[in-house]
């Protein structure tokens, strides 16, 4: 091991029952370097992070922080030692019932010298200092539950940064961030590097990896399968992660056979131009744009969670104005929501119960649940989407984040729909899982309209027949996914296409 290694792992093993998740993991994190960890869903990344952060105990092997053994029994103990984690599940890093200021300094409130009484003025002052160092422009008095997903993630990251860590673990930290917010994070990483912090950065975004990585470690089936030092071999790292070469094939763009959904004069917010939208059977359409431009609002309007300010919608030629998601589902319009942990899953339910939840009347007879039919439907979707699990009876909370996302998508693919809406379906999903989900969406698209809301342009280009660009709550561009004019598309994403809006 290198002398400048801040954190060492030797021969780490972990099993859950008969499932061997980690198999002899040995690695080092060096002071002032960013080590990127890549691994497919179910490779063992989350288990490794949970052992490092004191959530799980290893069955074998050892860890060392500097010259001292490191075996934290709790996350608090890990943090006190200087190992701080920002988990992929944002709600693990914030307390929704508290305001932003209290979240930012929460871990200091029980420290030595804090006194007996809660001092709101001191909390506000320290929170302002943390927010200023982070460049966090959020109302400190707002409850975290009121914040958008990206803002909650920035609060979780800022809270972690406030610990002055020796080791920082970042699990998919840019998954919900806009490009500007991601740039702030990268600037902070550079400052942590300069201070000698060892950083473990878990990501599948090649743009992130190219930006921050000093070394790449590939993980597959609980084993390290590749270690890449500079000059970095990105393709080699991906192949080591997957155990095979995954060719990125272009989309064979499909034309719609007939219109299923049409909207005219649709207005999402005050003072924004109205626009029209038409979706046809058999085509996959991606709406791309920066975080906060209205993609989620449009998704929620189509699913009956919100109402537009103006405009008309038609589904299969009939007026469509759902007042509730229940009405949307009844009309055959389904939504895979953006925030999986908050609105997409029930962690205490097993896989088949999560899949059948919105469709219980279809799996019952005279009020009695038909469990055999539920399980059979779940098994089909597990096979189709290659969900890594032992059976459909597994608790959802035991699956990796990417496999939980596959279950969420599979739920809505398990029943016939006229329009399937997916809001950031590849968020926190590895390259192979993204390929599986995209392939299944395209394979099953023939008799419905499929609409994806995506921030990452690469995802849109790899998946969609047609790409729409959204900026400031309106559609500003449209591109067939054949020889796309990338300069024009990027200009529209950046907000320079508003003059062409409908």
CATH code, domain carrying 492? 3.40.50.300
CA-wise closest residue to 394 among 349, 335, 355, 448: 349
Residues 235 and 264 in one domain: no
Non-local (6+) Cβ contacts of 67 within 8 A are none
Select the more confidently predicted residue: 499 or 288.
Answer: 288
Beta partners for 469?
288, 477
In a domain, 354, yes or no: no
Residues 147 and 269 in one domain: no
Residue 8 confidence (pLDDT): 96
Instruction: Using pLDDT thresholds of 50, 70 and 90, give the confidence band for residue 50.
Output: very high
Residue 148 confidence (pLDDT): 78
User: In the predicted model, is pLDDT for residue 335 greater than 60?
Assistant: yes
Non-local (6+) Cβ contacts of 109 within 8 A are 102, 118, 123
Instruction: State the Cα torsion 161-162-165-169 to the nearest 10°.
Output: -30
Select the more confidently predicted residue: 123 or 52.
Answer: 52
User: In the predicted model, is pLDDT for residue 40 greater than 90?
Assistant: no
Residue 248 confidence (pLDDT): 44
What domain count does the chain have? Answer: 2
Residue 3 confidence (pLDDT): 43
Residue 366 confidence (pLDDT): 62
Inter-residue contact 150 to 176 (CB < 8 Å): yes
Non-local (6+) Cβ contacts of 303 within 8 A are 322, 325, 328, 333, 334, 335, 421
| Per-residue tokens: 69 | 């053994």
Instruction: Using pLDDT thresholds of 50, 70 and 90, give the confidence band for residue 118.
Output: low
Inter-residue contact 200 to 5 (CB < 8 Å): no
Phi, psi angle pair for 316, to nearest 5°:
55, 40
Domain end point (choices 213, 242, 271)? 242
- Going 403 to 404 to 407 to 412, the CA torsion angle's sign is negative
Q: Please give the Cα distance from 437 to 415 (Å, whole number).
A: 16
Instruction: Using pLDDT thresholds of 50, 70 and 90, give the confidence band for residue 254.
Output: low
In a domain, 472, yes or no: yes
Residue 478 confidence (pLDDT): 95
Specify the residue for token string 């070469």. 245
The arithmetic mean of pLDDT across residues 448-477, rounded, is 91
Name the burial class of residue 250, with classes exposed (0-12), middle (13-18) and buried (19+) by CB atoms within 10 angstroms of its CB. exposed
**b/e string for 5-31 if b means 16 or more Cβ within 10 A?**
bbbbbeebbbeeeeeebbbebebbbbb
Q: Please give the Cα distance from 16 to 230 (Å, whole number).
A: 35
Instruction: Using pLDDT thresholds of 50, 70 and 90, give the confidence band for residue 229.
Output: very high
Residues 193 and 292 in one domain: no
Q: Which domain holds residue 277?
A: 260-332+447-502
User: In the predicted model, is pLDDT for residue 501 greater than 70?
Assistant: no
Least confident of 5-14, 121-130, 315-324, 359-368: 359-368
User: In the predicted model, is pLDDT for residue 189 greater than 50?
Assistant: yes
CA distances 121 to 159, 345, 350, Å, are 18, 38, 45
**Mean pLDDT for the chain overall:** 85
The arithmetic mean of pLDDT across residues 223-249, rounded, is 78
Q: Which helix (H) or strand (E) holds 260?
A: strand 259-267
Domain end point (choices 207, 242, 277)? 242
Instruction: State the Cα torsion 365-368-370-374 to the nearest 10°.
Output: 110
Name the burial class of residue 155, with classes exposed (0-12), middle (13-18) and buried (19+) by CB atoms within 10 angstroms of its CB. buried
In a domain, 93, yes or no: yes
| Per-residue tokens: 63 | 């860890």
Q: Please give the Cα distance from 49 to 83 (Å, whole number).
A: 11
Residues 114 and 184 in one domain: yes
Q: Distance from first CA to last CA of the chain, Å, rounded?
A: 61
Instruction: Using pLDDT thresholds of 50, 70 and 90, give the confidence band for residue 113.
Output: very low
Residue 249 confidence (pLDDT): 46
Residue 308 confidence (pLDDT): 95
Residue 500 confidence (pLDDT): 44
Least confident of 103-112, 136-145, 253-262: 103-112
Residue 502 confidence (pLDDT): 40
Select the more confidently predicted residue: 384 or 120.
Answer: 384
In a domain, 415, yes or no: no
User: In the predicted model, is pLDDT for residue 49 greater than 80?
Assistant: yes
| Per-residue tokens: 446 | 């023939």
Q: What is the pLDDT of residues 432-443, one digit of tens each?
A: 788 888 989 999
The arithmetic mean of pLDDT across residues 264-268, rounded, is 96
The arithmetic mean of pLDDT across residues 342-368, rounded, is 77
The arithmetic mean of pLDDT across residues 180-198, rounded, is 85
Residues 231 and 298 in one domain: no
DSSP state letter for 429: -
User: In the predicted model, is pLDDT for residue 499 greater than 60?
Assistant: no
Residues 237 and 294 in one domain: no
Residue 195 confidence (pLDDT): 87
Domain end point (choices 174, 209, 242)? 242
Residue 106 confidence (pLDDT): 81
Helices and strands: H and E segment counts in the chain: 16, 22
CA distances 402 to 41, 223, 248, 279, 391, Å, are 5, 18, 19, 28, 16
Dihedral-angle region of residue 224 (phi above 0 means left; psi in -120 to 50 means alpha; beta otherwise): beta
Inter-residue contact 44 to 19 (CB < 8 Å): no
Q: Please give the Cα distance from 41 to 403 (Å, whole number).
A: 6
Residue 37 confidence (pLDDT): 95
User: In the predicted model, is pLDDT for residue 1 greater than 60?
Assistant: no
In a domain, 403, yes or no: no
Non-local (6+) Cβ contacts of 18 within 8 A are none
- The pTM of this model reads 0.61
Most confident of the ranges 41-45, 293-297, 424-428, 495-499: 293-297
Q: Which helix (H) or strand (E) holds 298?
A: helix 295-302
Instruction: Using pLDDT thresholds of 50, 70 and 90, give the confidence band for residue 245.
Output: low
The arithmetic mean of pLDDT across residues 207-219, rounded, is 91
Residues 236 and 272 in one domain: no
How many other CB atoms are found less than 10 A from the CB of residue 218? 24
Residues 302 and 176 in one domain: no
Most confident of the ranges 143-157, 397-411, 442-456: 442-456
Instruction: Using pLDDT thresholds of 50, 70 and 90, give the confidence band for residue 58.
Output: very high
User: In the predicted model, is pLDDT for residue 36 greater than 90?
Assistant: yes
Most confident of the ranges 22-26, 41-45, 87-91, 413-417: 22-26
In the chain, pLDDT over 70 holds for what percent of residues? 89
Residues 75 and 113 in one domain: yes
Phi, psi angle pair for 352, to nearest 5°:
-70, -30
Residue 78 confidence (pLDDT): 94
In a domain, 275, yes or no: yes
In a domain, 295, yes or no: yes
How many other CB atoms are found less than 10 A from the CB of residue 325? 17
Inter-residue contact 148 to 156 (CB < 8 Å): no
Question: Residue 331: CA atoms inside 13 Å, Cβ hemisphere, count?
Answer: 24
Instruction: Using pLDDT thresholds of 50, 70 and 90, give the confidence band for residue 202.
Output: very high
Select the more confidently predicted residue: 136 or 170.
Answer: 170
Residues 144 and 266 in one domain: no
User: In the predicted model, is pLDDT for residue 228 greater than 80?
Assistant: yes
* Longest CA–CA separation in the chain, Å: 70
Residue 365 confidence (pLDDT): 65
Residues 113 and 140 in one domain: yes
Residues 232 and 318 in one domain: no
CA-wise closest residue to 183 among 193, 173, 196: 173
The arithmetic mean of pLDDT across residues 174-182, rounded, is 72
In a domain, 32, yes or no: yes
Inter-residue contact 209 to 216 (CB < 8 Å): yes
DSSP state letter for 350: B
């Amino acid at each position: 091991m290198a002398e400048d290694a801040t954190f060492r792992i030797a021969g780490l093993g972990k099993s859950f029952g008969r499932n061997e998740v980690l198999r002899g993991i040995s690695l080092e994190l060096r002071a002032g370097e960013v080590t990127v960890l890549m691994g497919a869903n179910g490779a063992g990344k989350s288990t490794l992070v949970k052992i490092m952060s004191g959530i799980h105990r290893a069955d074998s092997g050892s860890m060392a922080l500097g010259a001292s053994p490191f075996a934290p029994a709790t996350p608090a103990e890990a943090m006190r030692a200087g190992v701080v984690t920002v988990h992929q599940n944002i709600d693990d890093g914030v307390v929704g019932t508290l305001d932003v200021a209290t979240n930012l300094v929460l871990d200091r409130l029980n420290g030595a010298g804090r006194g007996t009484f809660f001092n709101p003025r001191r909390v506000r002052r320290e929170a302002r200092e943390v927010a200023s160092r982070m460049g966090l422009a959020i109302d400190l008095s707002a409850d975290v539950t009121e914040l958008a997903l990206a803002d909650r993630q920035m609060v979780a990251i800022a809270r972690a940064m406030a610990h002055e860590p020796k080791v920082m673990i970042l699990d998919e930290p840019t998954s919900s961030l806009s490009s500007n917010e991601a740039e702030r994070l990268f600037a902070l990483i550079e400052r942590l590097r300069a201070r000698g912090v060892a950083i473990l950065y878990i990501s599948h975004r090649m743009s992130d990896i190219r930006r921050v990585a000093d070394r790449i470690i590939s993980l597959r089936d609980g084993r390290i399968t590749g270690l890449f030092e500079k000059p970095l071999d990105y393709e080699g790292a991906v192949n080591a992660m997957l155990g095979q070469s995954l060719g990125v094939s272009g989309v064979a763009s499909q034309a719609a056979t007939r219109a299923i959904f049409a909207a005219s004069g649709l207005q999402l917010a005050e003072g924004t131009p109205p626009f029209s939208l038409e979706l046809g059977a058999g085509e996959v359409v991606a709406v791309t744009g920066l975080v906060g431009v209205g993609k989620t609002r449009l998704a929620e309007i189509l699913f009956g969670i919100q109402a537009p300010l103006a405009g008309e919608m038609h589904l299969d030629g009939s007026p469509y104005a759902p007042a509730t998601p229940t009405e949307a589902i009844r009309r055959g319009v389904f939504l895979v929501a953006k925030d999986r942990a908050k609105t997409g899953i029930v962690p205490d339910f097993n896989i088949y119960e999560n899949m059948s939840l919105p469709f219980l009347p279809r799996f019952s007879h005279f009020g009695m649940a038909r469990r055999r039919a539920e399980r059979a439907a779940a098994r089909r979707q597990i096979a189709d989407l290659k969900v890594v699990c032992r059976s459909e009876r597994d608790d959802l909370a035991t699956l990796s984040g990417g496999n939980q996302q596959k279950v969420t998508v599979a739920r809505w693919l398990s029943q016939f729909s006229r329009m399937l809406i997916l809001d950031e379906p590849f968020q926190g999903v590895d390259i192979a899982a993204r390929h599986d989900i995209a392939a299944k969406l395209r394979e099953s698209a023939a008799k419905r309209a499929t609409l994806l809301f995506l921030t990452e342009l690469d995802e849109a280009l790899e998946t969609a027949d047609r790409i729409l660009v959204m900026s400031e709550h309106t559609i500003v561009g449209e591109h067939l996914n054949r020889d796309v004019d990338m300069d024009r598309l990027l200009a529209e994403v950046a907000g320079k296409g508003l003059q062409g809006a409908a």
